[in-house]
Amino acid sequence: MADNKIVLSGMRPTGKLHLGNFYGALKNWVELQNKYNCYFFVADLHSLTTAYQQTENLAANSEAMLIDWLTAGLDPQKCTIFVQSDVPEISELNTLLGMITPLGWLLRNPTYKEQIQELLKQKYAGQLDEKSLGEKLASIAGDEEISCFGFLGYPVLMATDILIQQATYVPVGKDQTAHLEIARDLSRRFAEIYGQQVFTEPQPLYTTVARVPGIDGRKMSKSYNNAISLGEELDSVRKKVMAMFTDPNKKGAHDPADPEGCVVYAFHKIYNPHSAKRCEECKAGALGCVACKKELFALMEPELAAFSQRRKIFENDKTQLAKIVKEGCARARENAAKTLTQVKRVMRIIH
Ligand code: TRP
């Protein structure tokens, strides 16, 4: 580890991850584990802030996500992997930080407004007009199913995740900026009220990530059925690569074509150091799609093989998986407990 600063990030367990998630976030995590003291956790409590009624797959999704992370190359020897709900210190600090969080901060949070709007629209699709939706949005009680205490308090829980581990850097997408700001504000407010700086002020860690489209050119998504999942069998991926959408105007192998918008080219940009050359060849009509796809698959193969090998190991050895999570949880709890004890001392609630 080059630097012992703490990096922390979490993901809600949404089910199996795909290459889009790998290139969008996980690959960055895998690299960060070599540089910093990293904590990565499954944010299962965060799932409850919206999907508290659908808990039937929560545990299974958490497990699937842990397997995906290990498949992607997170190494429990290098980083700490845990599940949020296994660290009760988080819930305890969440209660304490909730006491000092001004309601206005939460109500003004732009993601809160956007999300609630989105959820209201989904729920009342075609039933309520814009005006009634607006009224629901404006009222603090809003909609009973959607407007819950936990949902409003989402940024407090996220701040707790970060502050309790004393994270310096938080790799997140730009959409999480407002949440991170609340974490920083809370760390300062705590110091102002109790006269002691207990928390490290966290900073976002933005990285430019590669975007991979789904095999049909739309955003890669499980629900579009256009995804390549992490650790998918090689034969299955080969078929998907051969089925990737290309320039529809290219009819024959020797027609010139436009690589922009071609899914195969988007992947070459990630996997092929000579992608610029392939781009020129394609434009000149000197490269057929079949050859181009075959080359791509060959370039992807070593990484895919490593994924699928790791997936098999962890899928077939649940004891090992349980051990990894148990050890990660113990480390996360130990680190969290130190902060919590300090907080309680400063707040004078240790007797
Ligand atoms: N809010 C994040 C998301 O939905 C998940 C998350 C929860 C998180 N706690 C966090 C991310 C702490 C970074 C740090 O994607």
What is the CATH classification number for the domain harbouring 237?
A: 1.10.240.10
Residue in the block written with tokens 């922009």? 260
Number of separate helices (H) and strands (E) present in the chain? 16, 5
**Residue-wise DSSP of 199-245:** S---EEE-------B-TTSSB--GGGT---BTT--HHHHHHHHHT--
User: Does residue 297 fall inside a structural domain?
Assistant: yes
CA distances from 186 to 6, 189, 194 (A): 18, 5, 12
- According to the model, what pLDDT value does residue 2 have? 67
Best of 158, 163, 164, 169 for a ligand 1 pocket test (most atoms within 8 Å of beta carbon): 158
**One domain for residues 164 and 96:** yes
Predicted TM-score (pTM) of this structure = 0.92
* Cβ(182) – ligand 1 distance below 6 Å: no
Best of 46, 91, 162 for a ligand 1 pocket test (most atoms within 8 Å of beta carbon): 46
CA of 12 to the centre of ligand 1 (A): 7
The atom of ligand 1 lying closest to the CA of 179 is 1
User: Does residue 108 fall inside a structural domain?
Assistant: no
Strand partners, 6: 37
- According to the model, what pLDDT value does residue 175 have? 86
**One domain for residues 299 and 166:** no
- According to the model, what pLDDT value does residue 64 have? 96
* Cβ(64) – ligand 1 distance below 6 Å: no
Q: For residues 190 and 202, give the distance between their C-alpha atoms in angstroms, rounded to a whole number.
A: 14
**One domain for residues 286 and 178:** no
Q: For residues 214 and 168, give the distance between their C-alpha atoms in angstroms, rounded to a whole number.
A: 34
Whose Cα sits closest to atom 9 in ligand 1?
158
| Residue 96 CB-half CA count within 13 A | 27
Q: For residues 235 and 219, give the distance between their C-alpha atoms in angstroms, rounded to a whole number.
A: 23
* Cβ(161) – ligand 1 distance below 6 Å: yes
User: Does residue 38 fall inside a structural domain?
Assistant: yes
- According to the model, what pLDDT value does residue 278 have? 95
DSSP 8-state symbol, 8: E
**One domain for residues 74 and 198:** yes
SS3 51: helix
Low-confidence ranges of the chain (pLDDT < 70): 1-2
**One domain for residues 31 and 82:** yes
- Looking up residue 204, the CATH number of its domain turns out to be 3.40.50.620
Q: Could you tell me if 68 and 17 are in contact, meaning their C-beta atoms sit under 8 angstroms apart? A: yes
Whose Cα sits closest to atom 8 in ligand 1?
10
**One domain for residues 96 and 185:** yes
Q: For residues 161 and 156, give the distance between their C-alpha atoms in angstroms, rounded to a whole number.
A: 9
Max CA pair span of the chain: 80
User: Does residue 121 fall inside a structural domain?
Assistant: no
SS3 155: helix
Residues spanned by the domain of 27 = 6-101+153-212+317-346
* Cβ(10) – ligand 1 distance below 6 Å: yes
- According to the model, what pLDDT value does residue 288 have? 93
Residue 267: phi and psi, rounded to 5, are -75, -40
Does an H or E element contain 289, and which? helix 289-316
Can you read off the two tokens belonging to residue 28?
A: 């960055």
Can you read off the two tokens belonging to residue 211?
A: 């975007």
**One domain for residues 158 and 27:** yes
DSSP 8-state symbol, 127: T
- According to the model, what pLDDT value does residue 120 have? 84
Rounded CA Rg of the chain: 23
The atom of ligand 1 lying closest to the CA of 171 is 13
Which of 197, 210, 233 has the alpha carbon at shortest distance from 343? Answer: 197
**One domain for residues 63 and 162:** yes
Q: How many domains does the chain have?
A: 2
- According to the model, what pLDDT value does residue 1 have? 66
